[in-house]
Amino acid sequence: DAKTTQPNSMESNEEEPVHLPCNHSTISGTDYIHWYRQLPSQGPEYVIHGLTSNVNNRMASLAIAEDRKSSTLILHRATLRDAAVYYCILRDPYGGSQGNLIFGKGTKLSVKP
Amino acid sequence: GAVVSQHPSRVICKSGTSVKIECRSLDFQATTMFWYRQFPKQSLMLMATSNEGSKATYEQGVEKDKFLINHASLTLSTLTVTSAHPEDSSFYICSAEKGVTDEQFFGPGTRLTVL
């Protein structure tokens, strides 16, 4: 099954952009790229997802490489509330049980004031 | 965004007792609900997938007789931890989705402590 690779941790300064990378070299054609984040002692929160084209929403932007083997979550202006563990997850919506969200270790983002 | 609630948010029980956790989608009908477990400093682990009106599908290694899941309606799923033991102490999180291509909405989690 397709997997993702993320750095264990990253640091950012408040109000600066943050680029969180994710490698997924074995992605299949039907895998969507999902990003979730989890603040301490809370359930995960959906951030963004996409298939091929770059995506923007009020929280973030998702840049997907042309070959889809990597993607980058972009937080345009980090705030202290963005400090969380960010998970990049591949999901095949038509894969039955193989299409379930499988959480890896994610990237722990620290934001310095 | 859609809201998923869990109740209770925190529970402490004695070893050997059963604990029921409710998961509700408040403003949408969920085609599928999911139950996860998270131990300290670890990532979420999927326990089971629950569809309304049918039996839950459990992940490998998860005992279905110990973790009873009932999905009574399109807005409610319950997880009952039967005969709980200290090793069942964990953070239990549910999620719900409207459709397979949509995002999942997660509940705030339930912290279970078994003494």
B6-57, pLDDT tens digit by residue? 999 999 999 999 999 999 999 999 888 999 999 999 999 999 999 888 889 9
* Chain B contact set for A97 (CB, 8 A): 49, 57
pLDDT in tens, A23-45: 999 999 989 999 999 999 999 99
Q: Is A105 an interface residue toward B (CB < 8 Å)? A: yes
Q: Which of A16, A41, A35 lies closest to A106, judged by CA? A: A35
- B40 contact partners, CB below 8 Å, separation of at least 6: none
Contact A100 B34 (CB under 8 A): yes
Q: Which of B15, B23, B18 lies closest to B96, judged by CA? A: B23
Average pLDDT taken over every residue of chain A: 93
A104 → chain B, closest CA residue: B43
Chosen from A101, A102, A105 to mutate, greatest number of chain B CBs within 10 A: A101
A47 → chain B, closest CA residue: B103
- The one-letter code for the residue type at A1 is D
CB-based burial label for B45 (10 Å; 0-12, 13-18, 19+): middle
Size of the A and B interface in Cβ pairs below 8 Å: 53
Interface of B with A (CB under 8 A): 1, 4, 6, 34, 36, 43-46, 49, 57, 91, 93-95, 100-101, 103-109, 111
Contact A94 B109 (CB under 8 A): no
Q: Measure A104 CA to nearest chain B CA, in Å.
A: 6
Judged by DSSP in three states, A82 sits in: helix
Q: What is the DSSP pairing of strand B67-73 with strand A55-56?
A: unpaired
- Interatomic CA distance for residues A40 and B91, integer angstroms: 11
Mean pLDDT of A52-56: 94
User: pLDDT value at position A62?
Assistant: 98
Does residue B92 have a pLDDT over 80?
Answer: yes
